[in-house]
Amino acid sequence: MVADSNDHGYQGIQGVRQEIIQLGVCVAFIEYIQNSQPDKNIPRIIQTIKNSRANAIVIFVSDVDLISLLKELLHHNVTKKTLVASEGWATSTLLSSEKYSTHLTGTLGFAYYSEDIPGFNEFIENIKFSKLSQEMWDLMFWEENAGCTLLDYQNITFIRERPARNCTDNDIIENFQISLDNVTSLRLLYNLYSAVYVIAKAFHDLNSCQNGKGPFLNGSCSDIWNMKPWQVRLSLVT
């Protein structure tokens, strides 16, 4: 098992590990990609994989961190391992390069559930691309989805290859609409939408609560001006 050395990696890989052990499967090793180190601990991870008899490797990382690992797997010719992809890279377009096909062919991936978001298409259609935000992260988002370059970044190192062609207004509109047709790119967005919707509904239900019909002791309601976290959590499941 390989994971990022952050909350997402630690919690995700431990959750998977517990489920696997309960099924009677042996976990040979757990390694973490250390972004705080210059080599990200990749040489150690490669050596562990080469020395292990494990034939399946669960990789709970982002697509960017996986590229660093894949490059070293290619360099050391580590093959005949079945990779199990977490949602962080299972549907990533960054890994569609032919050079990775040797190691990714046969990969088993898990991804977030996705569905249409009410009103989202109408919202996109009304975006004025001529008034794009000049914030760096916003421009990086548009660049990623439009497939062309919007800005010359200073003092930023990119692992992925950036588009060589500058964007035009037509590029942004047409290519972004094409990217939206790819449902895999909306999986994370749909889950964020669902999380916000559930919390908003919980607040709405607490605000609409009637004494005697509430979800708490003796049908009581919460104080709308002094809600407690546990009351919101309880409202989510009632």
The tens-digit pLDDT sequence of the chain (238 residues) is 999 999 989 998 999 999 999 999 999 999 999 988 888 899 999 999 999 999 999 999 988 888 889 889 888 988 888 999 988 888 777 777 777 777 788 888 887 777 778 887 777 767 666 666 667 667 777 776 666 776 665 555 554 566 666 776 666 666 666 555 555 556 777 888 888 999 999 999 888 888 888 888 888 888 888 888 888 888 877 6
Q: Which residue has the tokens 């939206």?
A: 180
> How high is the pLDDT of residue 88?
80
> How high is the pLDDT of residue 129?
61
The Cα–Cα gap between 207 and 123 comes to 28
In the CATH hierarchy, which fold is given to the domain comprising 2-109?
A: Rossmann fold (3.40.50)
The CA radius of gyration of the chain, in Å to the nearest whole number, is 23
> Which tens digit of pLDDT belongs to each residue from 155-174?
555 545 666 667 766 666 66
* Residue partners of 194: CB distance under 8 A and separation at least 6: none
> Which tens digit of pLDDT belongs to each residue from 45-73?
999 999 999 999 999 998 888 888 988 98
Q: Are 55 and 45 spatial neighbours (Cβ–Cβ below 8 Å)?
A: no
Pairing of strands 108-109, 82-85: parallel
The neighbour count for residue 106, using CB atoms within 10 Å, is 8
